[in-house]
Amino acid sequence: MKKPLAGIINISTNNILSIKRALEFIGFNTVLINEHVPIEKFDLIVLPGVGAFNEAMNTLNRKNLLKTIDQALNKNKKFLGICLGMQLLFQESNEFIKTKGIGFFNGNVENFKSFPIYKKTFIGWNKVNFSKKFFKNAEQYYLLQNKAYYFVHSFFVNCTNKNIEFGNSVNGRLTYASVVKKDNVTAFQFHPEKSGKHGLNLLKTIANNI
Amino acid sequence: MIKRIIARLDIKNNFLVKGMNLEGLRILGYPELFSKKYFDEGIDEIIFQDVVASLYKRNQLSHLTSKISENVFVPITVGGGIRNIKDIKEILVSGADRVSINTGAIHNKNFVEEAVKIFGASTICISIETLKINDSYKIYTDSGRTEINKDTFDWIKEVQDLGVGEIILTSINNEGTGRGFDINLYEKASKISSIPLLAHGGTKTPDNVYEVFSKANVDGVIIASAFHFNYYKELLDKKEIPLTGSTNFLKDKNTHSLSFKIKKLKEYLRLKNIEIR
């Protein structure tokens, strides 16, 4: 059987290798997308990201990758955003300077600093409370629901449309969306590629839905 | 907050080694076998440290990092001989999530500040090796070989001000001895640190780990010998690693408990109400 092909949008962030390795581990072939390319041949487009919002948007602009992303989002291509790659799909962020995002999801990216929370930068494992409808079957839900996944972030999305929120997490007294989904597009605030076996299983459930 | 259980692999010439008080290194086998095993058993994170890199002013870990990250899907921290931005880039591109810096930070604080700006706080971790002499804790570099005339707690405050994301604090006195953590050290250090603090040095029993979690506000523990000696036996039985050097230490039941497994440790901590993955 031919392996499905994942295109990973490369915005030159720290460790693009992790997501590439994880996708290959669960049975994908992978290609790094460094400039705008036709998306037809891909079964999945991944937008990973670690770093600053405005710099990432600048890079996407400069490399004409916004066009690639736009096509994937609107042509019903399976799409996965991870960490900053999730935040970029929202409308606006105030990280360093006010920057417009891709705007596929409604809501803005906000700083933990403005909330009464324990850690201003969250590095470590945290539970994700998935809604049942995220999974195709109960078996997947019970396997992956309320498990710990690996997070590294100081910003989070203030998701104004509760219909797209498919999972949340808690930092101090703040509950925020850690999983969003609309049609063909899924995004995680945490790193499934660094979240041990549950993370790999979660990636697999998305892959299986292709 | 979920506490982290971290395995540390000391590397010399591409082999996993382990000593006592950061000295007297023994070759235990191929690090990629141990790291894969630890991932399969549910470790939360893995740290690789080139123990002689800084001493010989070299850095050979990127090739190994690349090999290891093929099978390990939890965060990987790599340290040893990291002195400039290029070193960090090379290691991150090879598949590491974080780097840990010790000697390089002491010699050049500007470098650390610059690294935080470029790669983000969560990517830069400072490793501190401390030796208790009488009642003072002095810091050391080059894997416990060179004394720096600096107080450990002053240095913790200084590196926090540089904006780094995390601190690994190793007790040279307890490292590799299996006599438990230096609770006093971690109590004091956690009181002054506003960033995650990881305790390293002295684990022999699950109770040692429980003790440091319950008495000091540390975010994770780093365990080396206790895991290695345990799994060494298992990997050795399967003839997966070559016999190198003397293995008499395996028969020495007083040195390390041979029933210390990652899953069992986690079960134990959960029963004691420590939040664990």
Side chain identity, residue B255? T
pLDDT at B12: 87
* Spans of all domains in chain B: 4-271
Q: pLDDT tier at B177 (50, 70, 90 boundaries)?
A: confident
Sheet containing strand A185-188, strands side by side:
A29-33, A5-9, A44-47, A79-82, A185-188, A174-182, A165-171, A129-130
Per residue in B221-239, pLDDT tens?
A: 999 988 988 888 777 666 5
Between chains, do A51 and B165 touch, taking CB under 8 Å as contact? no
Residue B122 has pLDDT above 90, yes or no: no
- Write down the ipTM of this complex: 0.90
For domain A5-208, which CATH number applies: 3.40.470.10, 3.40.50.880, 3.40.50.720, 3.30.1490.20?
A: 3.40.50.880
Computed over every residue of chain A, the mean pLDDT equals 91
| Nearest chain B Cα distance for residue A193, angstroms | 6
* Spans of all domains in chain A: 5-208
Side chain identity, residue A91? Q
Residue A96 has which token pair? 């360093």
Size of interface A-B (CB pairs under 8 A): 72
pLDDT at B248: 56
Between chains, do A194 and B95 touch, taking CB under 8 Å as contact? no
Q: Tens digit of pLDDT per residue, chain A (210 long)? A: 789 999 999 986 667 889 999 999 999 999 999 999 999 999 999 999 777 888 889 999 999 999 999 999 998 899 999 999 999 999 999 877 889 999 999 999 998 877 766 667 788 999 999 999 999 889 999 999 999 999 998 889 999 899 999 999 998 888 999 999 999 999 999 999 999 999 999 999 888 775
Rounded (5°) CA angle B133-B138-B139:
140
SS3 state of residue A124: strand
Between chains, do B123 and A14 touch, taking CB under 8 Å as contact? yes
Catalytic residue among A35, A83, A95, A165: A83
Computed over every residue of chain B, the mean pLDDT equals 86
Going by C-beta distance under 8 Å and a sequence separation of 6 or more, which residues neighbour residue A145?
A: A128, A129, A130, A132
Between chains, do A123 and B44 touch, taking CB under 8 Å as contact? no
In whole angstroms, how far apart are CA B67 and each of B42, B123, B255? 19, 20, 31
Whether domain B4-271 has CATH 3.20.20.70: yes
SS3 state of residue B178: coil
Q: pLDDT tier at B78 (50, 70, 90 boundaries)?
A: very high
| Nearest chain B Cα distance for residue A91, angstroms | 23
Residue B252 has pLDDT above 60, yes or no: no
Query: Which H helix or E strand runs over B266?
Result: helix B262-271
DSSP assignment letter at A134 = G
Beta bridge partners of A193: none
Going by C-beta distance under 8 Å and a sequence separation of 6 or more, which residues neighbour residue A30?
A: A5, A6, A7, A8, A20, A23, A24
Residue A155 has which token pair? 């910003």
Residue B262 has which token pair? 């990652």
A119 contacts in chain B (CB < 8 Å):
1
Residue B253 has which token pair? 């039941």
In whole angstroms, how far apart are CA B82 and each of A49, A127, B19, B112, B128? 24, 33, 22, 10, 14
Contact B168, B224 (CB under 8 A): no
Q: Percent of chain B beyond pLDDT 70?
A: 86
SS3 state of residue B242: coil
Pick the residue with more confidence: B276 or A207? Answer: B276
Q: How far is CA A74 from the centre of its chain?
A: 17
Per residue in A154-201, pLDDT tens?
A: 889 999 899 999 999 998 888 999 999 999 999 999 999 999 999 999
pLDDT at A117: 62
Between chains, do A21 and B95 touch, taking CB under 8 Å as contact? yes
Contact A147, A128 (CB under 8 A): yes
Residue B141 has which token pair? 């570099």
For the entire predicted model, the pTM comes to 0.91
B4 contacts in chain A (CB < 8 Å):
124-125
- Average the pLDDT over each of A142-151, B15-24, B81-90, B145-154 and give the range with the smallest value: B15-24
Side chain identity, residue B119? F
The label of the residue with tokens 């041979």 reads B258
Per residue in B139-161, pLDDT tens?
A: 988 777 788 889 999 999 999 99
